[in-house]
Amino acid sequence: MQHSLEALEAAAEQVHAVIAPTLQYNWPLLAERCGCEVWVKHENHTPIGAFKVRGGVTFMNDYAKGGDAPGIITATRGNHGQSIGFAARSAGVAATIVVPEGNSTEKNAAMAALGVRLLVHGQDFDEAREFADATAAEEGLSFVPSFDPRLVRGVASYALELFGAVQDLDAIYVPIGLGSGICGTIAARDALGLRTEVVGVVSENAPAYALSFEAGKPVPTNSANTFADGVACRVPDAGAVDIINKGASRIVTVSEDEIKDAMRAYYTDTHNLAEGAGAAPLAALLQEKDRMAGKKAAVVLSGGNIDTDMYSAILAGH
């Protein structure tokens, strides 16, 4: 799946018509901690507190041109659902969002506030996704996948912003949920002809994409038991695996404790709130501190949506 620079720039124009570009900062305390020049791409500062809103905008822009279904439906752990809900409301399209049982109460509330119909089904994201697909067929709705070329083109806009603002990056660390973020980053890097390494990051409790990278083909897992719900995937997307395996330099696996340490580091060093998936890239960079010593790196703070009680416990060291 190749995306021309012209196509990515056109998608970025659609995104920027709705949301402003996010900023990237080189925080001195964070650089000191990491032992290198490190730039944080602040996707926690979008209108939904996560990068996925970009893909929602481009997807709905395309849907509005020809979709004749009475509405759309998708499955999510939160940020994708907020993205689609935000974009659907702007386009005047009815949206149904399916979440698994035990999902983040605050993410659920944020989606409901966007006017979506919120359904709860299944033990994890993949069961919710299967239910959403079946409901789409029953009700004649258009199913919105969590990984799609139209989403990737929109998401790539954050990488275009970063690469335009910060020159000569040695590496950029990106969390992997279903893959739109890292695939958008690879697409932007390749379209610009840069040599920056793109490094994927997963939780050791949800290693499907790391296993797929090693095997050279999609490898599902039986569970994705991580508190970092943005990377809690057990069934990888085959298209995403192909792009990642060709375009990423490596995939780093981080522990739950390393993610929590990175969340605390974000707060102490930058006073930014990071959800688990958003902190995973920093956790990976800290794990590779010796490898990246003296170099220039970027980490994608992909989102800041985490329930208050959980975040308070993590800051307290639990």
Length of the chain counted residue by residue:
318
Per-residue pLDDT averaged across 57-62, rounded?
Answer: 91
> Alpha-carbon distance 88 to 165, whole Å?
30
Q: What is the mean pLDDT of the chain?
A: 94
| Predicted local confidence at residue 1, as pLDDT | 61
Concatenating the DSSP letter of every residue in 217-255 gives S----S----S-GGG--SS--HHHHHHHHHH-SEEEEE-
* CATH of 5-51+149-315 among 3.40.50.970, 3.10.20.740, 3.40.50.1100, 3.30.2270.10: 3.40.50.1100
Per-domain boundaries in the chain: 5-51+149-315, 53-143
Tens of pLDDT, residue by residue over 268-284, are 999 999 999 999 999 99
Confidence band (pLDDT; 50, 70, 90) for 206? very high
Whether residue 228 contacts residue 259, with contact meaning beta carbons closer than 8 Å, is answered with: yes
Mean pLDDT of 233-255: 96
Contact by Cβ (8 Å): 130, 257: no
Domains 5-51+149-315 and 53-143 share a fold: yes
pLDDT value of residue 67 = 61
**What confidence tier does 159 reach under pLDDT thresholds 50, 70, 90?**
very high
Nearest C-alpha neighbor of 299 from the set 227, 205, 200: 200
* CATH 3.30.565.10 describes domain 53-143: no
With 80 as the cut, is the pLDDT of residue 160 above it?
Answer: yes
pLDDT per position as a tens digit, 72-116: 999 998 889 999 999 999 888 999 999 999 998 888 999 999 999
Burial label, 242 (beta-carbon count in 10 A; 0-12, 13-18, 19+): middle
User: What's the whole-number mean pLDDT along residues 50-75?
Assistant: 87
Strands (E), 135-291: 142-143, 171-175, 197-203, 250-254
From the list 78, 146, 76, the residue with the least C-alpha distance to 107 is: 78
